[in-house]
Amino acid sequence: MTLYLARYLLPISAPPIEDGALVVYNGRIAAVGRRPELLPGFAGEVVDFGDAVLLPALVNAHTHLELSHFPRWTATADRSSVPTSFVDWLLYLIDLKRGLTEDDLAASLQDGLRQCLRSGTGAIGDILSSPCLSAGYAASPLFGRLYFELLGVEQVAWQGALSRLEAQLMQGKFGHLQPGVAPHAPYSLSSEAIEAIFAIAYRKSWPLTTHVAESLQESELIEQGTGEFLKRLYPAVGWADYRPAAFNCSPMSCLNQQGGLQPNNLLVHGVQVSKLDCRLLADHSVTMCLCPRSNERLGVGRAPVADYRAAGVKLALGTDSLATNDSLSMWDELAAAQRCYGDQLSSGELLTMATRNGAEALGLKGEMGTLSSGAGAHFQVLSLADAPDLEQLEEYLCCHGNSRPLIALYLAGVERLQSLL
> Minimum CB separation from Zn ion for residue 21, in Å?
39
DSSP state of 207: -
**Which residues neighbour 329 within 8 Å (Cβ) at sequence distance 6 or greater?**
115, 119, 120, 121, 319, 402
Neighbours of 4 (CB within 10 A): 24
Considering only residues 258 to 297 of the shown chain, the ones binding Zn ion according to CB under 5 A are: none
d(CA 24, CA 30): 5
d(CA 331, CA 347): 12
Letter for the amino acid at 287? Answer: T
Hey, which residues does 24 pair with through a beta bridge? 2, 29
Report the residue number, 218 or 367, with the smaller CB distance to Zn ion: 218
Considering only residues 316 to 355 of the shown chain, the ones binding Zn ion according to CB under 5 A are: 320
Report the residue number, 320 or 394, with the smaller CB distance to Zn ion: 320
Report the residue number, 212 or 417, with the smaller CB distance to Zn ion: 212
Report the residue number, 222 or 268, with the smaller CB distance to Zn ion: 268
> Minimum CB separation from Zn ion for residue 354, in Å?
17
Report the residue number, 147 or 308, with the smaller CB distance to Zn ion: 147
> Minimum CB separation from Zn ion for residue 64, in Å?
6
The answer to whether the Cα torsion of 255, 258, 262, 267 is positive or negative is: negative
Q: How many amino acids of this chain bind Zn ion (CB under 5 A)?
A: 1
> Minimum CB separation from Zn ion for residue 93, in Å?
11
Report the residue number, 262 or 324, with the smaller CB distance to Zn ion: 324
- For the chain, counts of helices (H) and of strands (E): 17, 16
Nearest in space to 118 (alpha carbons), one of 383, 417, 381, 391? 417
> Minimum CB separation from Zn ion for residue 59, in Å?
16
> Minimum CB separation from Zn ion for residue 39, in Å?
45
Neighbours of 231 (CB within 10 A): 12
Considering only residues 291 to 320 of the shown chain, the ones binding Zn ion according to CB under 5 A are: 320
Considering only residues 5 to 44 of the shown chain, the ones binding Zn ion according to CB under 5 A are: none
Report the residue number, 320 or 367, with the smaller CB distance to Zn ion: 320
Nearest in space to 192 (alpha carbons), one of 218, 221, 214, 159? 159
> Minimum CB separation from Zn ion for residue 127, in Å?
6
> Minimum CB separation from Zn ion for residue 321, in Å?
6
Q: Beta strand pairing status for 265-269 and 288-290?
A: parallel
DSSP H helices in 99-186:
102-118, 155-169
Letter for the amino acid at 63? Answer: T
Residues comprising the chain, all counted: 421
Letter for the amino acid at 261? Answer: L
Report the residue number, 28 or 97, with the smaller CB distance to Zn ion: 97
Position of minimal CB gap to Zn ion: 320
> What is the Cα 7 distance to its own chain's centre?
29
> Which residues are near Zn ion by CB under 5 A?
320
